[in-house]
């Protein structure tokens, strides 16, 4: 098989894969490529005509011109939209295809070269479009809605989908009127204007009462005036509630005071069965005094049987000392003795052991001093030859002044 010299490039070299070669009869060497190699047929692409414009592919979109293409279904991109040709326009109310979900108010399709999808300009450089016309204009557009509905072509005036939905979902469903949404004009305005309106509600209401309102804002102003009036009524009602509560409290207080005074006056009469609180206190005070006297006598008898008052005091002091000592032993001595039996104490250095012993001895000495001081204090308090009523009340833990005057 002769080699094609015209088509084969002169510099064509076999690839790195192994190849077999043989010498032909005319003395030329032929290389047989048994493995993949560069094609000997050189295909040259046709020359480029005009500008290279490759449309950007969108996911799920068909080719331009095919059925279901976005460019054909969009009413705004259709070249004959302005002429009223609805053949290529998909109604907004009908079930949209997946490709038609993009908002028609996107600025890219409002450009003159809408047929050619191009790159979207940065949002920072794009001027903010006026999405909604002034309130009065939008309401005027509503009067033409039935025609728009019957033609199944969404009006291009409704650039805001939200406003579109709001108007079309009014109560009557078909003929939204300004009275159905009285605050629609307010919602159309920019946020700053809305804030100003909210801020100066009272000023507007006052202006309305003075007759400066225009015809379009009369219903809104009437609402504001009614709101202000309701607010004033609530304020005056709250004031009345406070006044009523105040007078009810005062009346209750005077009624109670009159009742207490009347009962006190009635109890002073000897024939009256009602006793005042003072009389009841006196009654139970006398009962307490009698009981205390009985208890004191019985205590004196016990003390005399015990061996006298001195013996009683001595026993009392011993009992107190025993209590304090047992308290010390329970608290500190028990802990100390338990600790010195532990391995931890045995592992301590001699210096630490000495310090611990010193602290324990110091605490023991302080507790002994405290016990002796308590005994001396008791002696000074209970000087005398017999137990007194005050000592009895102290032992009983009862307030002496409740029954006896100091």
Q: Which residues contribute to the site for other proteins (CB under 8 A)? A: 226, 229-230, 233-234, 236-237, 240-241, 243-244, 247-248, 250-251, 253-258, 260-261, 275, 277-278, 280-281, 283-288, 290-292, 294-295, 298, 396, 398-399, 402-403
- In terms of CB distance, is 21 or 281 closer to other proteins? 281
| Least distance between other proteins and beta carbon 305 (Å) | 14
| Least distance between other proteins and beta carbon 65 (Å) | 59
- In terms of CB distance, is 186 or 404 closer to other proteins? 404
Which residue shows structure tokens 């379009």? Answer: 216
| Least distance between other proteins and beta carbon 264 (Å) | 9
- In terms of CB distance, is 140 or 233 closer to other proteins? 233
- In terms of CB distance, is 249 or 372 closer to other proteins? 249
Nearest CA to 166 out of 181, 178, 155 is that of 181
- In terms of CB distance, is 183 or 254 closer to other proteins? 254
| Least distance between other proteins and beta carbon 396 (Å) | 7
Give the phi and the psi of residue 20 in degrees, each rounded to 5.
Answer: -105, 145
- In terms of CB distance, is 58 or 234 closer to other proteins? 234
- In terms of CB distance, is 142 or 208 closer to other proteins? 208
| Least distance between other proteins and beta carbon 344 (Å) | 51
| Least distance between other proteins and beta carbon 182 (Å) | 17
| Least distance between other proteins and beta carbon 203 (Å) | 21
Instruction: Please state, in angstroms and rounded to a whole number, the distance separating the CA atoms of residues 258 and 113.
Output: 95
- In terms of CB distance, is 24 or 301 closer to other proteins? 301
| Least distance between other proteins and beta carbon 307 (Å) | 21
């Amino acid at each position: 098989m002769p080699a094609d010299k015209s088509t084969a490039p002169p510099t064509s070299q076999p690839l790195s894969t192994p190849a077999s070669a043989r010498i032909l009869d005319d003395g030329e060497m032929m290389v047989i490529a048994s493995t993949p190699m560069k094609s000997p047929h050189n295909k040259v692409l046709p020359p480029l005509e005009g500008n290279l414009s490759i449309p950007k592919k969108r996911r799920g979109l068909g080719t331009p011109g095919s059925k279901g293409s976005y460019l054909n279904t969009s009413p705004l991109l259709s070249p004959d939209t302005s002429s009223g040709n609805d053949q290529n326009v998909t109604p907004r109310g009908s079930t949209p295809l997946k490709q038609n979900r993009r908002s028609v108010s996107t600025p890219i399709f409002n450009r003159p070269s809408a047929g050619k999808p191009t790159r979207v300009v940065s949002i920072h450089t794009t001027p903010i479009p006026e999405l909604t016309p002034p309130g009065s204009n939008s309401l005027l557009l509503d009067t033409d809605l039935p025609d728009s509905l019957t033609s199944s072509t969404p009006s291009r005036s409704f650039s805001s989908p939200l406003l579109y939905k709001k108007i079309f979902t009014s109560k009557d469903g078909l003929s939204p009127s300004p009275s159905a949404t009285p605050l629609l004009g307010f919602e159309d305005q920019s946020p700053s204007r809305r804030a100003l309106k909210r801020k100066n509600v009272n000023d507007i209401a006052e202006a309305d009462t003075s007759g400066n309102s225009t015809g379009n804002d009369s219903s809104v102003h009437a609402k504001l005036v009614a709101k202000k009036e309701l607010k004033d009524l609530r304020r005056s009602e709250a004031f009345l509630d406070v006044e009523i509560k105040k007078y009810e409290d005062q009346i209750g207080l005077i009624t109670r005071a009159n009742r207490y005074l009347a009962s006190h006056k009635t109890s002073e009469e000897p024939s009256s069965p009602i006793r005042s609180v003072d009389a009841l206190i006196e009654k139970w005070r006398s009962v307490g005094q009698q009981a205390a006297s009985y208890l004191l006598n019985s205590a004196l008898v016990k003390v005399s049987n015990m061996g006298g008052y001195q013996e009683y005091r001595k026993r009392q002091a011993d009992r107190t000392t025993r209590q304090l000592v047992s308290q010390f032993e329970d608290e500190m001595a028990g802990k100390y003795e338990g600790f010195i039996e532990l391995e931890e104490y045995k592992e301590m250095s001699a210096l630490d052991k000495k310090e611990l012993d010193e602290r324990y001895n110091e605490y023991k000495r302080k507790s002994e001093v405290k016990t002796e001081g308590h005994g001396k204090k008791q002696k000074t308090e209970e000087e005398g030859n017999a137990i007194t009523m005050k000592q009895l009340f102290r032992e009983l833990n009862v307030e002496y002044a409740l029954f006896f005057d100091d």
